[in-house]
């Protein structure tokens, strides 16, 4: 067993579970019985950091997670998010204090808990000063409804402004072999401020799994369809990089997804990946990646095979990119 890592002053396993896939965004989700069994399997494997959000399934994911994990509430770190939810079936970013308060109370009910351990602002609403949204979150801490505050997809500058209002316990941003944006500034800033860095999509939205050979086979409602890296024009070039990584993973005696997670864990002790999946075998493999003994040389080679500089295509379509605050590499 590899050592635990610290999140919100709590020891957790190095790899947590992003629960979004069970309700949202990647085609047809499993039915409730299968999803509940899946979360039970995660607990049995030893997962103790679970991440959900108001947005996922427009509340359905929190309801699912609450139902499945209530018996284990004292044994897990439970994270959720506010500031982005469903209004009349559409995704809406709203960081107004009254919205944050309302969404937190709704989340508590759905999650069947008295307090949320880590509560993120899912997106910074650029119409609202970050200090106002942080003020609302800090009041939730005072009310005992949340224990700690997190931010998602923010820049180092925004993080610093927010942290001046109330300590930020964690920043959650996409980070993987093919998405290195955190390395520009926010990874270092979290270190300076003593915040954890929670890496979502550490398996590159399933790309590192090696199963998806043709994005045209994705469901119409799969969020990867409009992402430039998965386009018919760009994906074949990215697959060629993945094939090289597969050869390296075979040398290391692991899967490409495990190699990607192990690479992330090696970047800093304060990084905690939260891969999501609906596949029980992948659930076990992802968790086990923290216990693999992969040489520094192999990990370095992995980082050279796939990186921001040779990946083809932006990580988000232009409209989505405009909604986030993370630093971007120069084109």
Helix H or strand E segment including 263: helix 256-267
- Closest C-alpha to 198, from 257, 92, 119: 119
End-to-end CA distance of the chain: 41
pTM confidence score = 0.97
Q: Which of the residues 26, 56, 119, 175 is marked catalytic?
A: 56
pLDDT of residue 265: 98
Report phi then psi at 20, rounded to 5: -55, -45
Whether residue 315 contacts residue 227, with contact meaning beta carbons closer than 8 Å, is answered with yes
List the chain domain ranges.
Answer: 10-321
Q: Regarding the domain with residue range 10-321, which homologous superfamily does it belong to in the CATH classification?
A: NADP-dependent oxidoreductase domain (3.20.20.100)
- 56 has catalytic annotation: yes
pLDDT of residue 225: 95
pLDDT profile of the chain (331 residues), mean per 10: 88 98 90 97 98 96 98 98 92 97 98 98 97 98 98 98 98 98 98 98 96 93 95 96 96 98 98 97 98 97 97 94 92 66
pLDDT of residue 331: 66
Q: What is the pLDDT of residues 47-75, one digit of tens each?
A: 999 999 999 999 999 999 999 999 999 99
Helix H or strand E segment including 150: strand 146-152
């Amino acid at each position: 067993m590899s050592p635990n890592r610290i999140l919100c002053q709590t020891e957790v396993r190095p790899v947590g579970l992003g629960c979004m896939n069970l309700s949202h965004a990647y085609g047809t989700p499993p039915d409730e019985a299968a999803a509940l069994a899946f979360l039970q399997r995660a607990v049995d494997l030893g997962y103790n950091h679970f991440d959900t959000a108001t947005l996922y399934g427009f509340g359905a994911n929190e309801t699912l997670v609450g139902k499945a994990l209530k018996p284990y509430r004292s044994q897990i770190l439970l994270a959720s998010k506010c500031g982005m939810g469903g209004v009349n079936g559409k995704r809406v970013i709203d960081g107004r204090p009254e919205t944050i308060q309302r969404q937190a109370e709704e989340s508590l009910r759905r999650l069947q808990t008295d307090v949320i351990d880590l509560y993120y602002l899912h997106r910074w609403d650029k119409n609202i000063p970050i200090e106002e949204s942080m003020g609302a979150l800090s009041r939730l801490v005072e009310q005992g409804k949340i224990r700690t505050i997190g931010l998602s997809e923010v820049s180092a500058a925004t993080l610093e402004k927010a942290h001046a209002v109330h300590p930020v316990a964690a920043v959650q941003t996409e980070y993987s072999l093919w998405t290195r944006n955190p390395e520009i500034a926010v990874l270092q800033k979290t270190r300076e401020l003593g915040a954890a860095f929670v890496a979502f999509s550490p398996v590159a939205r399933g790309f590192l799994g090696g199963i998806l050979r043709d994005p045209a086979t994705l469901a119409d409602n799969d969020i990867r369809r409009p992402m430039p890296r998965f386009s018919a024009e760009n994906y074949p070039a990215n697959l060629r990089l993945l094939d090289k990584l597969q050869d390296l993973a075979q040398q290391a005696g692991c899967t490409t997804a495990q190699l990607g997670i192990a690479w992330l864990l090696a970047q800093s002790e304060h990084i905690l990946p939260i891969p999501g999946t609906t596949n029980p075998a992948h659930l076990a493999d992802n968790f086990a990646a923290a216990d693999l003994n992969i040489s520094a040389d192999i990990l370095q080679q992995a980082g050279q095979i796939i990186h921001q500089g040779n990946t083809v295509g932006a990580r988000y379509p232009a409209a989505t990119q405009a909604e986030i605050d993370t630093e971007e590499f120069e084109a």
